[in-house]
Structure 1
């Protein structure tokens, strides 16, 4: 092998990987964007119970993610470390995703029915998290195995975040409005209640998006190739925990992500905010507001993710990460201040204010996009750092840390949202009454956002998407302010690692060549003796 020539992925592999990443994020956002809404606002499970279900699931995922990361790091097959999981897991994820939106009725009837609904919701959500992890960790971990070139890896991670953002963004924008539209059609055509129509509408919405997402996700396992060969050492779960604990930059990233958990509230509360304040559960208006407000955030997000590789060439990763987090706090805080200063209900009808909100969300999205790519890139750097230090390459367990962060931060944000909703009484019976009022709105009736009786509900929705995320942005820079892995040090590490790998390959090739020569000489001698 020629010294200095780095193995990397083809354009075809890159494109297939990005399609699969988009598909996987479609599936993730069926759950991330719609399931909590479905539990609390459709089948009316109380907010605190929803929070407990999701928080307990995240505690289990904390264990499950790292167990799965260890399994990936132990895996050696003809397909590699990650591909076997990417081949076999998408279909089971699709099935569990659909089952999560299968309910037996509405919470609030008999005690037995309530127990059944909560038990089913809990089992499906926990099971979904377990199965999803089996596909998620290998999908991210394989990026470190597809190329030896750190710049190509950073580009792939950036494109992956964009592809995931597109898949997830389309799902976030469309799944709730589309499910509401399905519900209205079913209510009108079958003569069922609006509540039952909405429940079945969400089932159909989940079914449609799950099939599309799975078809895309499935491609990756069959079409990509792993090029970076891992060491033969197969670490135990205990050894992996010790590895993570002793890798200072990795622990700094993990702690930063955990402290930034309140930032996830923007994703959790966006649907209720748009549907109850802006759109009053009208499917068309819900989609319009999602495009205007959510579209601003996604546009900023994609822009940030798209320019992240170029920025990483010019500036230190640590500086981009920290400054982006700090800068995000200002527009988050501005959202709540504007709400407090604006007369009741005006934010939904004032075009200048809606445009201003879209711009604020766009700014947040831009910095969030940078942080998202930087987090993945810095975790990949930590893998190189660990391989250089110990000879062990912990792709699975370190990218398990990334999936762990995504789930844990969502769990923490969910319980925070549940506490906030419960504090103002925006839960179960109150939601049922509000839904019934909206379903029976006449042309001359006041909208909920214009009624003083619902002021606390509307206030809490705006508060959740603004002040806690702003605080999370500030907290997240504390661990990484003095980040332990400098960019210059990482460049030296990558250079030395590639030299080691290529020397090892050259030695292996030389040994194989010598064996062939010895075998050839032996054959010649045997033939000579026979003659």
Structure 2
């Protein structure tokens, strides 16, 4: 048996990673908009649903990681079993009714509860596949160079996530217009669009581990105290603290959809696609840079210094973007401002993408360090730290956004009024009644990200070379 992965294993892994990220991008980018602005669940309830689900999901990740590490099954067993159930549950997350004052109270309660329950179940099942696929390169080869190369190609999956993130909402808007444009039409359009992306993602996800061989044995210890590694392993401890401090960097993804929908596009599907692509392309460009440059940059400067540097750089474009809005609150769609915002979001997306890739490399180094310290390789447990960081960030960002919406008194009834205003030809950014909402969207999109980038860098600012 060869000591490292074959080209076919590498291709199947990247194919499966792309499918998994298509599903992930669909579910993480759309629900905040879908729940509040399509099926009209009040903002407070949406914030509770998403934040509680995400925080619960993040907290349970280390326990699922420990369970996988202690279990008898290989990582590939989970990767073969999970993809199709994940795709089915993704579709069910968008099968809700519409919340309305005309409904009976039990019906509205059922709509809220079904949204919460399906989301929680999806999170659990997705995690059972997410932790193994994140750590899979570590068991495909013991060669550190080959492992770094494969981990550095993870941005390919991120590109698939970016494509689904950019495409789902505009496609749903276009279908809704074809169907008639009512609230029910928009709900059905989202269901059809999500179903299509889920099927494609589920099929590709299924390829991840087919025919592959695990060449490195992960830890199968019966020791129930594996969570001690989060304290005893210095690298894992640092990256976990950094991730928690940088939680609100997820605000970029949470706010992009409502920002584009209501400020830039006024729910026009063609303009939504254009602006979402324009401001989301930075992440894709960053992923390309990550795949191409991170291996050499991390070798030259060290992963810890590189991680701190890109986070510190990310502070400035976020502050400049908010300052640009403050100067031109109603004119960000003018060509000079749009070009400036494109450049700034390009830098922001690149920094975030590079940071995420380097974070993966640091966790892989933490696994190697633990093997030297204790002789154990708890791959699944350690990589659950990264899924924990992502989910706690999205949960806290969703909660912060819902608090912001409540602060400007933007509830389900106001959402319906705004949607009617747009349907009658109104442009929210030009109407003083919605100036507080527009300012809130730009503020949430930039300022928490700048602060979180600074906090995220602190544990590694004085980091030593690898």
TM range, normalised to the smaller chain? Answer: over 0.9
Equivalent in the alignment of 1:225: 213
1:292 aligns with 2:292: no
Q: Does 1:208 align with 2:196?
A: yes
Counterpart-to-counterpart distance in 1, 2:179 and 2:400: 34
8 Å CA contact 1:297–1:362 kept in 2: the answer is yes
Shift of 1:62: 3.2
- Give yes or no for contact 1:8–1:149 (8 Å, CA) kept in 2: yes
Q: 2:427 maps to which residue?
A: 447
Q: Is 2:275 aligned against 1:281?
A: no
The alignment partner of 1:223 has SS state of coil
Residue matched to 1:106: 99
- Does structure 2 conserve the Cα–Cα contact (< 8 Å) formed by 1:73 and 1:235? no
- Say which one has the larger Rg: 1
Query: Which string of whole-angstrom CA distances, capped at 9 and with x for unpartnered residues, describes residues 404-444 of structure 1?
Result: 11111110111111111111122211111001111222xxx
Task: Specify the SS of the correspondent of 1:294.
Answer: helix
Relative contact order (C-alpha < 8 Å, sep 6+): which is higher? 2
Q: 2:179 aligns with which of 161, 180, 186?
A: 186
User: How big is each residue's C-alpha offset from its partner over 1:216-268, in whole Å with a ceiling of 9 and x where there is no partner?
Assistant: 100012132211123553332xx111122211221110110111111110000
1:202 and 1:118 mapped to 2: Cα distance?
18
* 1:89 pairs with one of 74, 82, 87: 82
Deviation at 1:479, TM superposition (A): 2.0
Residue correspondences, number: 465
| Cα distance in 1, alignment partners of residues 211 and 134 from structure 2 | 15
Deviation at 1:453, TM superposition (A): 1.0
Q: Does 1:235 align with 2:228?
A: no
Identify the residue that residue 365 of structure 2 maps to in structure 1.
Answer: 381
Q: Name the CA distance, whole Å, in 2 between partners of 1:366 and 1:110.
A: 47
Q: Deviations over 1:46-93 (max 9, x none)?
A: 11211111222123223421222112212334xxx2000000101111
Alpha carbons of structure 1 residues 471 and 232: separation in structure 2 relative to 1, 3 Å: closer
Q: Which runs of 5+ in 2 are unaligned?
A: none
Query: Does the 8 A contact of 2:287 with 2:350 survive in 1?
Result: yes
How far off its partner does 1:23 sit? 0.7
Distance in 1, Cα, partners of 2:35 & 2:183: 13
CA deviation map 1:251-296 (0-9, x unaligned): 1101101111111100000000001010110111100111222123
- Distance in 2 of aligned mates of 1:85 and 1:462: 40
- Provide the rounded CA distance (Å) in 2 between the counterparts of 1:277 and 1:365: 20
> Which 4+ stretches in 1 moved above 4 angstroms?
none
**Residues 118-137 of structure 1: CA deviation (Å, up to 9, x unaligned):** 10011011111000001000
Shift of 1:322: 0.4
2:167 aligned partner: 174
Residues 66 and 227 of structure 2 are in contact (CA less than 8 Å); yes or no, is this contact kept in structure 1?
Answer: no
Distance 1:351 1:86, change over 3 A: same
Structure 1 residues 341-490: aligned runs within 5 Å: 341-342=327-328, 344-348=329-333, 350-441=334-425, 446-483=426-463, 486-487=465-466
SS in structure 1 at match of 2:458: coil
User: Structure 1's 228 and 88: CA in aligned 2 closer, same or farther, altered over 3 A?
Assistant: same
Q: Distance in 2 between matches of 1:298 and 1:402?
A: 20
Displacement after TM superposition at 1:194 (Å):
1.2
1:191-218 CA-to-partner distances (Å, cap 9, x unmatched) read: xx61111011111111010001001100
Match of 2:3 in 1: 7
Contact 2:71-2:220 at 8 Å conserved across structures: no
Alignment match, 1:505: none
Q: What is the CA-CA distance between 1:336 and the residue it aligns to?
A: 0.7
When the two chains are superposed, the root-mean-square deviation of aligned CA atoms in Å is 1.6
Shift of 1:151: 1.6
Residue 345 of structure 1 aligns to a residue whose secondary structure is coil
CA contact (8 A) 2:283 2:353 kept: no
Say whether 1:117 aligns with 2:103.
no
1:142 is aligned to 2:136: yes
Q: Which ranges in structure 1 are unaligned for 5 or more consecutive residues?
A: 188-192, 488-531
What is the CA distance between 1:381 and its match in structure 2?
0.5
Q: How far, CA to CA, are the matches of 2:211 and 2:264 in structure 1?
A: 44
TM-score of the pair, normalised by structure 1: 0.85
Structure 1 residue aligned with 2:40: 44
Match of 1:32 in 2: 28
* CA distance in 2: counterparts of 1:330 and 1:309, whole angstroms: 25
The Cα of 1:19 is off from its aligned counterpart by 1.0
2:124 to 125, 130, 134: 130
Asked if 1:75 corresponds to 2:68, the answer is no
Which residue of the partner structure matches residue 230 of structure 2? 244
Give how far 1:305 is off.
4.0
CA contact (8 A) 1:262 1:472 kept: yes
Residues 155-206 of structure 1: per-residue CA shift (max 9 Å, x gap): 111111x21221111111100000111111122xxxxx61111011111111
- Residue-by-residue CA offset, 1:80-117 (whole Å, 9 max, x unaligned): x2000000101111111000000122243332122111
1:111 and 1:95 map into 2 onto residues whose CA distance is 29
1:378 Cα deviation after fit: 0.3
